[in-house]
A and B are shown apart, each in its own frame.
Chain A
Amino acid sequence: MKEITFSEALGEAMLEEMQRDPTIFTYGEDIAKQGGIFGAYKPILGKYQDRILDTPISEEVIFGSALGASLAGMRPVAEFHFADFLFTGMTAVANQIMKFKYMTGGQGKIHLILRGPDGISKSAAAQHSESIETLFMHIPGIKIIVPSTPYDMKGLFKTALKADDPVICFEHKMLYAKKGPVPEEEYYIPFGKADIKKEGKDVTVVTTSRMVHESLKASEQLAKEGIDVEVVDLRTLVPWDKELVLESVKKTHRLVIAHETWRRGGWGAEIAATVQEEAFDYLDGPIMRVGAKNVHIPFSPPLQDFVVPDYNSVINEVRKVLNV
């Protein structure tokens, strides 16, 4: 095992798959010279310079052209720069990419990836801080990967680069510099397989991305009080691993769902509803949800900290479920 950063893991995945598959190419704003705003493409710079393109600030074409390029036999990886700017070209995603296969009765292989940073960073404010993965879970037609570690980032992204369906990858800004172990040998992580990041018996916390780390921190604190938390990292939201979540809830009988995106209508509500439909009798308490307060992400540090959840928010909800 070696230790690499989250962004290096993405770069390694790209490099390995680009070597294997000459149809993979990538484009977006500000990527070809500095390797992306977070440097993830540094490993491919100089090696595949003809397959990494800087583009005009034309989001509808950045996304829509990925559909055309994939129908014409390529595997485009289009960067959205910031999740917030998915909205700028959203019609190409929601009306074209996500609908094409279905509305044409299954025609074409839409092997394309949309990827880029989401989530909060240090005071990026409302137009550079959003987590909007729920929207893509709500609208049918795209697979969603939300990695939390370098290991998951690399394994999931390599799978995405071989998939024959559209994939959107949300990379949390606060994770890019995070290091973690990644094996020397090649590996792939299948979609729809959650990962138990920490086993426990008292309460299940289902989470993704940055909130995996906040949940692990919460579990360390709670362990001091004798509360044993199981942290389940979904890793992909479409598909999401219902079996593993149900299994975990049947063991712990308690569930908290933690995400950075807004609590109201966030994907946690979908998980909660499914669990109460399919495992109602196993629950010993209400299902609680952790999410951002239902306002935009504000600028000033104390405001941002108040709105966005962290490990304390997870601790609070766990206490409520356990009534302690």
Chain B
Amino acid sequence: MQYDKEFLIGFYRTMVRIRNFELKAEELFLQAKLPGFIHLYIGEEAIATGAMANLRKEDYITSTHRGHGHMIAKGADVNKMMAELYGKETGYCKGKGGSMHIADVSIGVLGANGEVAGGLPIAVGAGMAIKMQKKDSVVVSFFGDGASNRGAFHEALNWASVYRLPVIFLNENNQFASTERVSETTSVQNIADRAVGYNIPGVIVDGNDVIAVYEVVKEAVDRARSGGGPTLIEAKTYRIKGHFVGDPVLYRNESEVNEKWQFEPISRFESTLFEMGMITDAEKESIWREAEQEIKNAVNFAEKSKYPEPESALQDLFESDTGYDY
């Protein structure tokens, strides 16, 4: 496929924005400025970026505990994201959710999810809604290799297949579920092989190749929009950082990580762009500088924002009443 320069630079910019957000989140967490847990998407940026380039605003996604990249690629406001990581009242969830519960229903993000595989049934439901409304929207459900061992994954794929729902199940196989290597816990070599059991297409893609991801997701999205039902895509990648910031990482050695770092998606795509003559040093510099500035502004916004009033903890349970005082 031929792509124009602006389109490809768009991929690069999104990945760089995600990378900068994540590097800053890591730094802030290590400085003890952020409470809770942070799961970084570093090294996996190509998946969210390539996938989301196929989506419209009214398409839905369900995300995971490692969800910052999905949010940014779907068009979320990084100020509100950063403020949420700080637990500030200007955050996406007014400080009630934190990193693992960021959502923006207005742009179709039906939630990050603190429960592994928690998003898959939700994605199926959104798919049922689309079908009943006779729309041509789609849902992309992101989930990890570990999540594919939960019952919810199997129930969701069977269900989506039976009803031919417009749901793309996008597995991010980063080789680990916290401390456990996928090969130790998973009955198949390729998670995509599980598609056979549900009579749907199963596709493997290099998750560190943004164009490849874009193309396989495009095929699946086109099929889903035209009533062809769900697809399982396994994007093979590697989790460069620990499971969470602060992970002692006792389950692998540094040399393995260094070797995998050679294949990380941003510098790989950068080389491609240079080879194709699609980017100059100056353009590259300015994309990085802009991203750094954007994230700096987000940190500024978050730090200047107030913590929520303690009493606001009693709001937002229900739409119609408070729900705590009886």
Are chains A and B native binding partners rather than an unrelated pairing?
yes
Expressed in whole angstroms, the Cα–Cα distance for A165 and B104 within the complex equals 18
Q: How many of chain A's residues touch chain B, expressed as a range?
A: 35 or more
Which one of B60, B158, B324 contacts A56 once the chains associate, using CB atoms below 8 Å? B158
Q: A60-B152, A105-B96 are in contact. Are A69 and B129 (CB under 8 A)?
A: yes
Contact between A74 and B133, CB atoms less than 8 A apart: yes
Expressed in whole angstroms, the Cα–Cα distance for A25 and B163 within the complex equals 15
Expressed in whole angstroms, the Cα–Cα distance for A263 and B326 within the complex equals 20
Expressed in whole angstroms, the Cα–Cα distance for A184 and B229 within the complex equals 44
Expressed in whole angstroms, the Cα–Cα distance for A92 and B159 within the complex equals 15
Name which residue of chain B comes closest to A91, CB basis.
B115
Residues from chain A with a CB closer than 8 A to the CB of B319 are 101, 106, 109-110, 164-165
A 100-129 to B, binary, CB cutoff 8 A, 1 in contact else 0: 111111111110000000000000000000
Expressed in whole angstroms, the Cα–Cα distance for A101 and B105 within the complex equals 11
Residues from chain A with a CB closer than 8 A to the CB of B251 are none
Is the C-beta of A206 less than 8 angstroms from some C-beta in chain B? no
Name which residue of chain A comes closest to B315, CB basis.
A106
Contact between B124 and A104, CB atoms less than 8 A apart: no
Contact between B97 and A105, CB atoms less than 8 A apart: yes
Chain A stretch 25-82: residues in CB contact (< 8 A) with chain B: 25, 51, 55-56, 58-61, 63-74, 76
Which one of B93, B125, B321 contacts A66 once the chains associate, using CB atoms below 8 Å? B125
Expressed in whole angstroms, the Cα–Cα distance for A165 and B318 within the complex equals 6
Candidate in A51, A91, A242 with the most chain B CB atoms within 10 angstroms: A91
Contact between A68 and B121, CB atoms less than 8 A apart: yes
Expressed in whole angstroms, the Cα–Cα distance for A242 and B92 within the complex equals 35
Is the C-beta of A265 less than 8 angstroms from some C-beta in chain B? no
Residues from chain B with a CB closer than 8 A to the CB of A56 are 155, 158-159, 162
Contact between A140 and B317, CB atoms less than 8 A apart: yes
Is the C-beta of A96 less than 8 angstroms from some C-beta in chain B? yes
Q: A74-B128, A240-B326 are in contact. Are A64 and B317 (CB under 8 A)?
A: no
Interchain nearest-CB distance for A51 vs B (Å)? 8
Q: A68-B127, A164-B319 are in contact. Are A104 and B324 (CB under 8 A)?
A: no
A 136-150 to B, binary, CB cutoff 8 A, 1 in contact else 0: 000011010000000
Expressed in whole angstroms, the Cα–Cα distance for A168 and B142 within the complex equals 29
Residues from chain B with a CB closer than 8 A to the CB of A323 are none
B 148-173 to A, binary, CB cutoff 8 A, 1 in contact else 0: 00011001101100100000000000
Residues from chain A with a CB closer than 8 A to the CB of B316 are 101-102, 105-106
Contact between A101 and B317, CB atoms less than 8 A apart: yes
Contact between B118 and A96, CB atoms less than 8 A apart: yes
Expressed in whole angstroms, the Cα–Cα distance for A64 and B143 within the complex equals 15
Is the C-beta of A239 less than 8 angstroms from some C-beta in chain B? yes
Residues from chain A with a CB closer than 8 A to the CB of B123 are 68
Name which residue of chain B comes closest to A107, CB basis.
B105
Contact between B111 and A100, CB atoms less than 8 A apart: yes
Expressed in whole angstroms, the Cα–Cα distance for A67 and B323 within the complex equals 19
Contact between B128 and A65, CB atoms less than 8 A apart: yes
A 212-247 to B, binary, CB cutoff 8 A, 1 in contact else 0: 000000000000000000000000001110100000
Is the C-beta of B76 less than 8 angstroms from some C-beta in chain A? no
Contact between A104 and B97, CB atoms less than 8 A apart: yes
Q: A106-B315, A108-B105, A164-B320 are in contact. Are A64 and B124 (CB under 8 A)?
A: yes
Interchain nearest-CB distance for A317 vs B (Å)? 24
Interchain nearest-CB distance for B284 vs A (Å)? 36
Interchain nearest-CB distance for B117 vs A (Å)? 9
Is the C-beta of B122 less than 8 angstroms from some C-beta in chain A? yes
Expressed in whole angstroms, the Cα–Cα distance for A105 and B326 within the complex equals 21
Residues from chain B with a CB closer than 8 A to the CB of A76 are 125, 128
Contact between B125 and A65, CB atoms less than 8 A apart: yes
Contact between B122 and A55, CB atoms less than 8 A apart: no
Candidate in A66, A102, A165 with the most chain B CB atoms within 10 angstroms: A102
Name which residue of chain B comes closest to A50, CB basis.
B132
Is the C-beta of B130 less than 8 angstroms from some C-beta in chain A? yes
Expressed in whole angstroms, the Cα–Cα distance for A238 and B317 within the complex equals 12
Q: A25-B132, A164-B319, A165-B319 are in contact. Are A64 and B121 (CB under 8 A)?
A: yes
Contact between B159 and A61, CB atoms less than 8 A apart: yes
Contact between A61 and B129, CB atoms less than 8 A apart: no
Name which residue of chain A comes closest to B100, CB basis.
A103
B 270-299 to A, binary, CB cutoff 8 A, 1 in contact else 0: 000000000000000000000000000000
Residues from chain A with a CB closer than 8 A to the CB of B92 are 104-105
B 67-94 to A, binary, CB cutoff 8 A, 1 in contact else 0: 0000000000000000000000001111
Is the C-beta of B39 less than 8 angstroms from some C-beta in chain A? no
**A-B CB proximity, top 4 nearest:** A64-B121, A68-B125, A65-B125, A72-B129
> What would 15 A/B residue contacts be, using CB atoms closer than 8 Å?
A59-B155, A61-B155, A64-B120, A66-B125, A67-B121, A68-B122, A69-B125, A71-B105, A71-B125, A71-B126, A76-B125, A91-B118, A140-B317, A140-B323, A192-B326
Mark B residues whose CB is within 8 Å of A. 60, 62, 91-97, 101-105, 110-111, 113-115, 118, 120-130, 132-133, 139, 151-152, 155-156, 158-159, 162, 315-321, 323-324, 326
Q: For the A-B complex with A72-B126, A242-B326 known, give 7 more contacts whose Cβ atoms are closer than 8 Å.
A: A51-B132, A68-B123, A68-B129, A70-B125, A76-B128, A106-B94, A141-B317
